[in-house]
Amino acid sequence: MTAFLIILIAALFVIALWQISKIVQLGKSPEANGADGEIANDADNNRQGKYMLYFVIAMYVMMIACFIGYQDYFLPDAASAHGAEYDSLLLLTTVVIMIVQFLTQALLHWFSYKYRGRKGQKALFYADNDRLEFIWTAIPVVVLAGLILWGLFSWNDIMDVDKHEDPLVVEVYAYQFGWKVRYSGADNTLGDANVRFIEGANILGIDPTDADGKDDMVATELHLPVNRPVVFNFRSQDVLHSAYMPHFRAQMNVVPGMVTKFSFTPTVTSEDYKSTEFMTEKVRKINEIRRQKSKELEAAGDVALDPYEFEYYLLCNKICGASHYNMQMKIVVESEEDYNKWLETQTTFETTLANAEN
């Protein structure tokens, strides 16, 4: 591999030298007679103006190609209640900005081409037009006002964590470099906690004297019952982290010294999400890539990659140290019964402490 790279770089270097020599030739262009040779003349204007036109056409082709070629990069439909609204707002905003993008880039480059300099061409002395300027101040004002209003209503709605009746209260706990979940147990109230209580089996620093904490349960996977609102309390033990759950359109920073909150209602179970057309196709494609890669790995004597099966995940999205890139947790959304069944297998804090003493 290294040998191959060295050869490759040597080859690139030779090509670079060759190109540089060509550039040097270009630098000694014959038309250069005196300093005027370095100022754009009609021929330059003509050529560069045309390039501007080609450039904008190529740019349109690239933009369209990106939207078509990368359409499965967009996240699939949201798996949370507020996510549908988020997706509509994103779609509307994207459509608006792409329309503006297409129009303004067209004008900019078309004018650069159309009015490219020619000898004898007279520019129009046109310094001001209050009406025009009023129009293009007013249009953004109106469009943005619409987007802002919709955005603000959604924002207020999403960020109001107290709006739910009988939500499930869950703590998501971050540390370098992993996540833990604390369920609040039968009382649906999390016990007080502080890093100063961390000791032995009490890895999350739950206050052992607080009665609310006795039935709390600490888990390494986030299980959520479908269609029940969840209020997340985020806590970090060391540095800033960010709990990012892209498929639920949810994100909140996790800040040491304070509890941050976010809430949403998961609406699609893991099983249903996996079997959507989009996800089946996406996973098939990913597994094809992994198979190809495994072949190469096996040929080189390495271990092959496991085939991939989609699971919701939570990942860290705020730089937090060396292993920031691998700080993730699996999320499972399941039916109420499955969730309760799973919860029964978890140990309460009281039991954990008792076991530790034995």
Partner 1 sequence: MGQVIAAATEHGHDDGHHHHKETFVTKYIFSTDHKMIAKQYLITGLIMGAIGILMSVLMRMQIANPEQPNVIFEALLGKWAPGGVMDPNIYLALVTIHGTIMVFFVLTAGLSGTFSNFLIPLQIGARDMASGFLNMVSYWLFFLSSAIMISSLFVELGPAAAGWTIYPPLSAVAKAMPGSGMGMTLWLVSMAIFIASSLLGSLNYVVTVINMRTKGMSMTRLPLTIWAFFVTAIIGVVSFPVLFAAALLLIMDRSFGTSFFLSDIYIKGEVLAHQGGSPVLFEHLFWFLGHPEVYIVLLPALGITSEIIATNSRKPIFGYRAMVASILAIAFLSTIVWGHHMFVSGMNPFLGSVFTFTTLLIAIPSAVKAFNYITTLWKGNLQLNPAMLFSIGLVSTFITGGLTGIILGDSTLDINVHDTYFVVAHFHLVMGISALYGLFAGVYHWFPKMFNKMMNKNLGYAHFWLTAIGAYGVFFPMHFIGMAGLPRRYYTNTNFPYFDDLADTNQLITYFAIATALAQLIFVYNFVKSIFYGKKAPANPWKSNTLEWTTGDKHIHGNWDGPIPHVHRWAYDYSKVNENGEYVIPGQDYTPQHIPLQDGEEEMNH
Nearer to partner 1, 104 or 209 (CB): 104
Least Cβ distance, residue 89 to partner 1 (angstroms): 6
Q: Where are the alpha helices (DSSP H) in 31-82?
A: 42-69
Smaller CB separation from partner 1, 43 or 186: 43
CB of 245 to partner 1, least distance (A): 9
Radius of gyration of the chain (CA): 30
Which of 215, 233 has the CB closer to partner 1?
233
Q: Is 330 exposed, middle or buried (0-12, 13-18, 19+ CB in 10 A)?
A: middle
Q: Which is nearer to partner 1, 211 or 289 (CB)?
A: 289
Give me the least distance between CB of 306 and partner 1, in Å please: 8
What long-range pairs does 353-357 form, CB within 8 A, spacing at least 24?
353/201, 353/202, 353/208, 355/201, 356/200, 356/201
For the stretch 85-112, what's the b/e string if a residue is b when 16 or more beta carbons lie within 10 angstroms of its beta carbon? bbbebeeeeeeeeeeeeeeeeeeebeeb
- Measured from the CB of residue 337, what is the shortest distance to partner 1 in angstroms? 28
Instruction: Please name the residues in contact with 213: beta carbons below 8 A apart, sequence gap of 6 or more.
Output: 190, 191, 192, 193, 206, 207, 349
- CA dihedral angle for residue 207, residue 212, residue 218, residue 219, rounded to 10 degrees: -150
Task: Give least dist CB 353 to partner 1, A.
Answer: 18
The helix or strand, by DSSP H or E, that contains position 350, with its residue range, turns out to be helix 349-357
CA distance 262 to 250: 8
Residue 185 DSSP label? T
Report residue 199 CA to chain centroid gap: 36
Nearer Cβ to partner 1 (37/336) = 37
Smallest gap, in angstroms, from Cβ of residue 93 to partner 1?
Answer: 6
Q: Which is nearer to partner 1, 106 or 353 (CB)?
A: 106
- CB nearer partner 1, residue 151 or residue 342: 151
Least distance in angstroms from the C-beta of 282 to partner 1: 7
Please give the Cα distance from 288 to 307 (Å, whole number). 9
Residue that has been written with the tokens 């090509």 in this structure: 15
Residue whose tokens read 């509890």: 259
Nearer residue to partner 1 within complex by CB, 101 or 335: 101
Phi, psi of 237 (to 5 degrees): -95, -15
Cβ at position 36, least distance to partner 1 in Å = 8
